[in-house]
Amino acid sequence: MSGAGRHILILGGTTEARRLAAELAADPALRVTSSLAGRVAEPRLLPGQVRIGGFGGPEGLARWLREQQVDALIDATHPFAGTISFNAAQAAADVHVPLLAVRRPGWVATEGDHWHDVASLEGAAEALPALGERAFLTTGRMGLAAFAHLEHMWFLVRSVDAPEPPMPPRMETLLDRGPFTVEGERELLRRHAVDVLVTKDSGAAATAAKLVAAREAGVPVLVVRRPPVPQGVPEVAGPAEAVEWVRRLFPRSRPFP
């Protein structure tokens, strides 16, 4: 442990990670570093220290944990960031650093929803032509290649940064980031005559409004289910529980308000 307090490394890139960093960084007994992959050109500001870029696999992360004298690791990455979660599990075990995963619950269909579960973006692309012709694609710019061969469909693509090829030939891009409102999503579906929605099961409240709008409009939704997570890692559903975990590990830190 360094003189500045217990060092907590948060693997971030999510709303939960940002909230967690804000809460923990306010505790003078803790030193908080957030780690971002560097996928977004202009990430939102984060309290505490920030490092950007990959570590170089589980070995690189293990080295970083050791060299930076990290006392606890929190994997608060997106449910679809499958690789880094496995890296975190291996690195934490290798250097004996306590690890917690923050995994928000997935979305659950309710009455009026027309959801079709698929296991991957490729599965979504395969199922898509049978469900509609004008798709609202909210799966992120990194996965667009899976839909590039669907030349006869039209796509509305929403992403934080501009997408790059390979991507579908008939598409309109909407550069935006959540949170989104039901009114806004309703209007988007109407204006673009969307007849099918494609989403990952991110489970995020900030992006759930599109599901309500699709339900209201009777628009079918292709839901890409989550990739597997490493076994044996303790997990909580949100930042408040993660703060509790840190407090139990290092009892001097403050409670969540």
Q: Among residues 58 and 132, whose Cβ is nearest to ligand NAP?
A: 58
Residue 147 in contact with ligand NAP, rule: CB under 6 A: no
> Which listed residue (14, 33, 138, 159) binds ligand NAP by CB under 6 A?
14
Residue 84 in contact with ligand NAP, rule: CB under 6 A: yes
Neighbours of 229 (CB within 10 A): 15
**Residue 141 DSSP one-character state:** G
Name the one range near ligand NAP by CB under 6 A: 9-17, 112-120, 148-156, 238-246: 9-17
> Which listed residue (70, 81, 156, 209) binds ligand NAP by CB under 6 A?
81
Provide the mask over 93-132, with x wherever binding to ligand NAP is found by CB under 6 A and - wherever it is not.
Answer: ----------------------------------------
Residue 37 in contact with ligand NAP, rule: CB under 6 A: yes
> Which listed residue (78, 104, 141, 215) binds ligand NAP by CB under 6 A?
78
Residue 138 in contact with ligand NAP, rule: CB under 6 A: no
**Residue 184 DSSP one-character state:** H
Centroid of chain to Cα 175: 17
Instruction: Please check whether residue 210 is in contact with residue 138, taking contact to mean a CB–CB distance below 8 angstroms.
Output: yes
- The encoded tokens of residue 248 equal 């139990």
- Please count the residues of this chain forming the interface with ligand NAP, following the rule CB under 6 A: 24
Instruction: Please check whether residue 196 is in contact with residue 95, taking contact to mean a CB–CB distance below 8 angstroms.
Output: no
Residue 239 in contact with ligand NAP, rule: CB under 6 A: no
223 CB burial (10 A radius; 0-12, 13-18, 19+): buried
- The encoded tokens of residue 93 equal 């075990």
> Which listed residue (103, 137, 140, 157) binds ligand NAP by CB under 6 A?
140
Residue type, 55: F
Per the listing, tokens 């032509």 go with 129
Q: Give the strands of the sheet with 30-36, arranged side by side.
A: 49-52, 30-36, 6-11, 72-75, 99-102, 235-236
179-198 positions binding ligand NAP, by CB under 6 A = none
Q: Among residues 91 and 171, whose Cβ is nearest to ligand NAP?
A: 91
* Residues of the shown chain interacting with ligand NAP in the complex, contacts defined by CB under 6 A: 11-14, 35-37, 39, 54-57, 60-61, 77-78, 80-84, 87, 140, 200
